[in-house]
Structure 1
Amino acid sequence: MACHALLVQIGVLGATGPAGRGIAARLASLGYEVLAGSRALERSEAAVLALQEKWGNKVKTLFPVDNDSAANCEMVIVATNWEAAVDTTILYSSALAGRTVIAMANGLEKVGQEFRPVIPPEGSLSAAIQAAAPEAKVVAAFQHIPASTFAALDKKMEGDVVVCGDDDDARNVVLGLVASMPDLRGFDAGSLVNAVGIETFAADLLSINLRHKGKGTLRFLGLEGYSSEANR
């Protein structure tokens, strides 16, 4: 887990929602110190207490805070639902300046029995988050890992994580984070402009899983010998 040496704390904005709770718990189970943020401290306290009651020492490095505190960590994950992601980022844009910020949400709407992508004027939700915090180093990652998969600490995660962002160092740090997660592989997809393809594919993936009643994830074939560390 080489990434541990690079990170002191990871802050999660919106850690009381499904995605936020899941990724906060998963990272804490790997030994990271995670500050689970919320607009209201009492909501974060309740969410962390529920996770502690369920998982015990597996989440002993998970701590409840408000979003202000979470936004001041070395790495910050925007884990709110996609509708709130940009507004939340705007609120903390000053605190996020110079920090590595992971954008993990996808703009999606459900129409009948399928999901459709919602593409903002910036081209992707990740790009919109970057525009909302222009001095932050925004990296798109984890768009295809379900919240329930992160949250199931008694089960391994499998899949490939596409990582893109305009700052090379920040992208490498996130690839290192992925490398510390057993059974996940991270792949460097270059600059943040490529996030549009990552995010829109999530609609296809969800629609396929819905139609076939499955839990499919993304896996690249022909790249079996590669790892997140090899991509760095």
Structure 2
Amino acid sequence: MEIGVLGATGPAGAGLAARLASLGYDVVAGSRDLARASATVGELVERWGDRVARLRPATNRDAAHARDLVIVATTWEAAVDTTAAHAADLEGKVVIAMANGLAKVDREFRAVLPEEGSVAAAMQAAAPEARVVAAFQHIPAAAFARLDEPLESDVIVCSDDDDARHLVLGLVAAIPNLRAFDGGSLANSLGVEAFGAVLLTLNLKHRGKGTLRLLGLEGYIPTGASSGGASSPSTSS
């Protein structure tokens, strides 16, 4: 599977790109500036060596043409504009929206919801022919980059496109220690994104690193995989 990451020079983008590459995915790490993308990939290779050998630097436009899946990993303030700028490139593509609209007010975080209801919904409006899927909203950017530590979280996946949603459910389930949950339509991403502010506030007030865990539910299991573990990614040589 080939995955493009737009905004791969930021903390979330670089960390997720490295994590996916370490799991055997071909990852196109995009940036508005090719030199920045090359520098970021160089830093990741210097740190992790062959574990991230499947990373390739590119412009955001090239990353948007990744064969199977595209992730917009910019800050939430830039996510909609980035999607709009590449709307033509993203036609027909499965596009993951992973941002939460947030503002820090005094000693807590508060959700900032666009007119469309969520960042993911605003991205869908900006690229109507893309197949936008909300996922990864509750995993800290720094956690993606710590490749020696497993990710500990449940991930709610929302989209109006059933096939796109199931593709991303499978991707999440293939990442060790993550559980994927079908959250239904993109309208439900409003609640998923808004809870990000609550989770950050809880961690701030309780001085912790809490993540989302859903009790009493079994996570998504890809077709052909057993409940004992996720299937490996299918990659090109």
Which category describes the TM-score, using the shorter chain as reference length?
A: over 0.9
How far off is 1:24 after superposition? 0.3
What SS class does the counterpart of residue 96 from structure 1 fall into?
Answer: coil
How far off is 1:179 after superposition? 1.2
Which residue is equivalent to 2:108? 114
Q: Choose between structure 1 and 2: higher helix proportion.
A: 1
C-alpha change, 1:187 and 1:195, in structure 2 (3 Å) is same
Which residue is equivalent to 1:176? 170
C-alpha change, 1:228 and 1:202, in structure 2 (3 Å) is farther
Residues in 1 aligned to 2:100 and 2:39: alpha-carbon distance in whole angstroms? 26
Which residue is equivalent to 2:37? 44
Spell out the pairing of 1:1-232 with structure 2 (5 A cutoff).
7=1, 9-73=2-66, 74-223=68-217, 225-229=218-222
Q: Is the 8 A contact 1:13 1:38 kept in 2?
A: yes
Report the number of matched residues: 223
How far off is 1:113 after superposition? 1.3
What SS class does the counterpart of residue 134 from structure 1 fall into?
Answer: coil
TM-score (normalizing by structure 1): 0.94
Which residue is equivalent to 2:228? none
After superposition, the C-alpha distances for 1:98-154 in whole angstroms (9 at most, x for unaligned) are: 000000000001111111000100000000000000000000000001111111000
TM-score (normalizing by structure 2): 0.92
Q: Is the 8 A contact 2:3 2:26 kept in 1?
A: yes
Which residue is equivalent to 2:233? none
Residues in 2 aligned to 1:22 and 1:210: alpha-carbon distance in whole angstroms? 22
| Gap regions ≥5 residues in structure 1 | 1-6
Q: 2:50 corresponds to which letter in structure 1?
A: N
After superposition, the C-alpha distances for 1:50-70 in whole angstroms (9 at most, x for unaligned) are: 111111111000111010100
Q: Is the 8 A contact 1:187 1:228 kept in 2?
A: no
What SS class does the counterpart of residue 162 from structure 1 fall into?
Answer: strand
Root-mean-square deviation (CA), in Å? 1.2
How far off is 1:76 after superposition? 0.4
Residues in 1 aligned to 2:77 and 2:219: alpha-carbon distance in whole angstroms? 35
How far off is 1:90 after superposition? 0.6
Residues in 2 aligned to 1:50 and 1:178: alpha-carbon distance in whole angstroms? 25
How far off is 1:228 after superposition? 3.8
After superposition, the C-alpha distances for 1:8-52 in whole angstroms (9 at most, x for unaligned) are: x10000000011001100000000000000000000011111111
Q: 1:157 corresponds to which letter in structure 2?
A: L
How far off is 1:92 after superposition? 0.3
Residues in 1 aligned to 2:11 and 2:108: alpha-carbon distance in whole angstroms? 20
Q: Is the 8 A contact 2:138 2:196 kept in 1?
A: yes
Q: 1:64 corresponds to which letter in structure 2?
A: P
